[in-house]
Amino acid sequence: MACIRGERPVFSRVSFRLAPGGALTLTGPNGSGKSSLLRILAGLLRPAGGTLAWDGEPLEDDWAAHRRRLHYVGHLDAVKPTLTVAENLEDWARLRGAAGPEPGALEALGIEALGDVPGRYLSAGQRRRLALARLVAAPAPLWLLDEPTVTLDAEAAARVAAMIARHRAGGGVAVVATHGEIALDGAQRLDLGDHAIPAEALLDAGDPGPEEESW
């Protein structure tokens, strides 16, 4: 799989496969395409070449089904300042088609005492915890997390690591971009710095290679 952003090649020849319960940590210097790869896996961005598949089925065939099975937590927390913490969480669970948030989501991140607090009074770390609480509130088998522990304190980071471990123990899959703050047992590592393309290579490129990418 390859990625080009604004006519600038970001990475190429990236390929991986994840089994149920598996995890992949994405590392690499700033600008190496960790966020772009996560957005490609979420279907927000189209890869410049290559294929994506789930259980052998190409994702292009049914993006709606893919959206239902993934959670994407990017750099923005999607917390509305005028809604309370509980309302924010309930909205996102229902907008994903769930009947309501699963109990224990706020507790998993240690923000159960903030349920009635409007979003505008939350600190950056608390907003981040709320964004991550969505993962528990509406279960989905694939978690795509973009530097989930940034702005979090050590205690919350440990909670996130435990959440991911529980998710994997239940057969879920996680792809986590990180600069090394979060350690996942038995996770595959993909250093996108190794897949960068020098700019001059683009001149005769256009063929990102026939590599297949699937889980």
Partner 1 sequence: MVGVFFRLVRRELVLALRGGIGSLMAVVFFVIAVTLFPLGIGPELALLSRIAPGAVWVAALLAALLSLDRLFVADHEDGSLEQLMLGALPPELVVLAKTLAHWLTTGLPLAAAAPVLAILLNMSADGLVILIVSLLLGTPILSLIGAVGAALTVGLRRGGALIALLVLPLYVPVLIFGVGAVEGAVLDTGVRTNLTILAGGLVAALALGPLAAAAALRMTTE
Contact residues: partner 1, CB under 8 A = 39, 42-46, 64, 67-68, 70, 72, 74-80, 82-83, 87, 91-92, 94-97
CA angle 92, 76, 120 (to 5 degrees): 75
Q: Which amino acid is located at 214 in the chain? A: S
Nearer to partner 1, 80 or 189 (CB): 80
Residue 193 CA, chain-centre distance (Å), reads 19
In which residue are the tokens 């915890």 written?
Answer: 129
Nearer to partner 1, 17 or 75 (CB): 75
Taking the complex as a whole, the smallest distance from the CB of residue 66 to partner 1 amounts, in Å, to: 9
Nearer to partner 1, 95 or 154 (CB): 95
Taking the complex as a whole, the smallest distance from the CB of residue 186 to partner 1 amounts, in Å, to: 28
Q: Of 86, 91, 90, 109, which is closest to residue 164 (Cα–Cα)? A: 109
Taking the complex as a whole, the smallest distance from the CB of residue 49 to partner 1 amounts, in Å, to: 16
Nearer to partner 1, 142 or 197 (CB): 142
Q: Which residues pair with 189 in a beta bridge?
A: 25
Residue 212 CA to residue 156 CA, distance in Å, equals 36
Taking the complex as a whole, the smallest distance from the CB of residue 76 to partner 1 amounts, in Å, to: 3
